[in-house]
Amino acid sequence: MMSRLIVFLNIGLVMVTVLCTDKYSRQDFPPAFVFGSGTSAYQVEGAANEDGRTPSVWDTFTHNGFVNGDTGDVAANQYHKYKEDVHLMVETGLDAYRFSISWSRLIPNGRGPVNPKGLQYYNNLINLLISHGIQPHVTLCHYDHPQALEDEYGGWASPKIVRDFTDYADACFRAFSDRVSYWTTLNEPNALILGGYDVGIFPPRRCSPPFGINCTKGNSSTEPYLVAHHILLAHSSAVRLYRRKYQGMQFGFIGINLLLFHFVPLTNSTEDVLASQRANEFYVGLFMNPLVSGDYPDIIKKNAGLRLPAFTNFEAKQVKGSFDFLGVNYYLRMYVKDNSDTLKPEKRDFVADMEIKLVYESNASTNEYPIMPRDLQFVLEYLKQVYGNPPIYIHENGQITPRSSALQDISRMKYIHSYIGSLLDAVRNGSNAKGYFTWSFLDVFELLGGYNSSFGLYYVDLNDSELKRYPKLSAHWYSYFLKGGNVSSEQVIQLGKESPLLSVD
């Protein structure tokens, strides 16, 4: 079924054809399109105190009890079980595996010598992936910068981290870029500045009253912008280094990752429509505008004023164009309501500067995300129209379920089926999407939920001393699709009723 919908973009009103493809196979995608799944270092590796690894800010955060008392000390223990996990990836049929490197495992002090044991682990993992034809897609920092740098100078709140991150990136490129062709500098910096430096629900818990939650240091009015600025400088510095020293010989690609939502006006009022535009400018444009044009959006400069750092001419030139692709993490829509008439000019943080309120829907009993696959098309269309249709990898997409749902994750099957179909429609409509990764390959330590919730294709039995893995229905569905099977909503229903589909005739 096809409908004509109107999406409001910064450039004006654009007519977008929105499809609803139900039956498809991977052969319907371009031949080079990549399908994979992902995890991140702190969430999956475990071995937190082994072989020279030192704490990251996430170790400190969880050991202070901020995630239900859970920690990533063991997580899914991929550090010791990576061979078994790669075998599961092969059985599943993955083209690629997205993972991150633990900065404090590779360089324990944040700067200085490389840890041989950490180097050996990542070399072993990368080599094993490649030997089985699985592309490594590597993120340099997935929220978890070393606690040593946080203690020394405040981590991302200090410009000193630009040099240290660049040196760390150089160590990774030097060690692995002869085999790794896809590099992401940072994961979700737009979420990090909010959670870590405004409201204080993420490490390093820097915030200030009345915006943050029981932080002991920080400034919610200034640090979100300061950290965003340092991240852009660090990212572009690492990209510049990669392009100068490695890319010409190894022909790899480097980008950055953002968490995106489909922002929908809560009502049809002009105020709410404009508020949804502001949400995009602050949440997406704060990073994408500098990457595309070399400067911040006008509305952010207006609302933040002198609290927003300015780029020098050199910095603007370095930041502009400093990406080969954009990684997108997408899960759900957000409804946006205007909140511009209740603000006090003397009390502002990043959220107040947006002048909005956000509302999202979820299943009250399970907290599962509503399945609205067309929203992904709107997000990709927005990136196409506003930012020149950059190459995009969907780095994360998946359904949250209670761990108690165990192997019968029918809602996850429905979710992934719907969103891959939506992605196919976006590609047919001209989106420059190049790949899709489910979140997550295994049940991991979830950054906000610990072990209460799960996103994995494979269940990890935390009550088993060996942390045994079991395929969920979604793993069987994804494997069937990856091996060439035709999938549809009816096939999802049948898989929920009958025995798993393990292969394609």
Residues assigned a catalytic role: 188, 396
Q: Which of 99, 79, 89 is nearest to 132 (CA)?
A: 89
Are 281 and 293 spatial neighbours (Cβ–Cβ below 8 Å)? no
Alpha-carbon distance of 466 to 81, in angstroms, equals 9
Alpha-carbon distance of 348 to 320, in angstroms, equals 28
Instruction: Label residue 191 exposed, middle or buried (CB < 10 Å: 0-12, 13-18, 19+).
Output: middle
Q: Which residue has the tokens 């969907």?
A: 394
Helix or strand run (H / E) with residue 329: strand 325-338
Other CB atoms within 10 A of residue 116 CB: 10
Are 237 and 162 spatial neighbours (Cβ–Cβ below 8 Å)? yes
**Tell me, what amino acid is at 175?**
A
Alpha-carbon distance of 46 to 418, in angstroms, equals 33
Q: Which of 503, 398, 499 is nearest to 458 (CA)?
A: 398
Alpha-carbon distance of 296 to 319, in angstroms, equals 11
